[in-house]
Amino acid sequence: MLPEGPPVHGVTSLADEVFLLRNKEQDQLEVYDATTYRLQRCLSVPNCRGIIDMTSCEHYLCVYVSDDMDKCIHRLDSQGKAAAQWPINDEPVGLSVNRAHNLLVTCWLVRKIKEFSTHGDLLREIKLPDDVIMLLHAIQLTSGQFLVCHGSLLQNDPVHRVCVISADGRQIDHSLGGQPGSDTDECNVPCQLAVDQNECVYVVDRNNRRVKLLSPTLGYIRDVVTSNSLKCRPNELCLVTQAGRLYVTDVERKDDKYTAGRVVVFSV
């Protein structure tokens, strides 16, 4: 485990280090050695008022943080130097980086994926089908298709799913889920995703307190993390396939507020 402290809203890996994003006024980024898990340094995200997710890019050696209060993205290099900040013009949630080294931003209320260059240039917007409500995270697959998860209890959404969507965003090719539930083919707030080298899918199933492993066509394989391994609820994850490590945030929530968090490390 990485230490318990203020709520964790993101975890990512970059250059043999693990970055944790905590919800506090400064030193929001804690950087740990990926082998010893010793704290190396703390970094602050300048002018950041809201923290919602984080990802990294090995190509540009940078970290991205989504700010839901100011509806913007913050970009820092691995040493914490602020390289850029740009507006999203919609409320951002999940982040990922595609094979072209561009940043994908999910905008949950408008059902859009926005693709930006590392300098903040808007390259395109992908509008998703009407029944993809409360979009939480998206990853672009090698085929060009998008892997997405959607569904939240905030709006009483009737459908909680993981979907593979066509490259143009118009068609759902595969899906798992439906009405919120706890069976193997159901989800209850599927909130973040990761894909391994075989394009098998890891899904944070938040309210079921588990991480599920699915086939490339979204067939259920097994639970790779269960509630027995967690103190509270999972929220984010980072898969490092070369090291065989899965980092999962374990976040405590009381009275509709996040109060504490840690990261649990699993071998996969």
Question: What pLDDT digit, counting tens, does each position of 141-176 carry?
Answer: 999 999 999 998 776 788 999 999 999 999 999 999
Q: How far is CA 190 from CA 149, 171, 251, 260, in A?
A: 6, 20, 15, 21
pLDDT of residue 91: 94
Q: What is the DSSP string of 130-145?
A: TT--SEEEEEE-TTS-
Percent of the chain with pLDDT over 90: 83
Distance between CA atoms of residues 13 and 239, nearest Å? 8
pLDDT of residue 1: 85
Domain boundaries, the chain: 1-44+236-268
Q: How far is CA 9 from CA 31, 164, 237, in A?
A: 14, 25, 10
> How would residue 256 be classed by pLDDT, with cut points 50, 70 and 90?
confident
pLDDT reading at 59 higher than 70: yes
pLDDT of residue 44: 92
Question: What pLDDT digit, counting tens, does each position of 196-224 carry?
Answer: 999 999 999 999 999 999 999 999 999 99
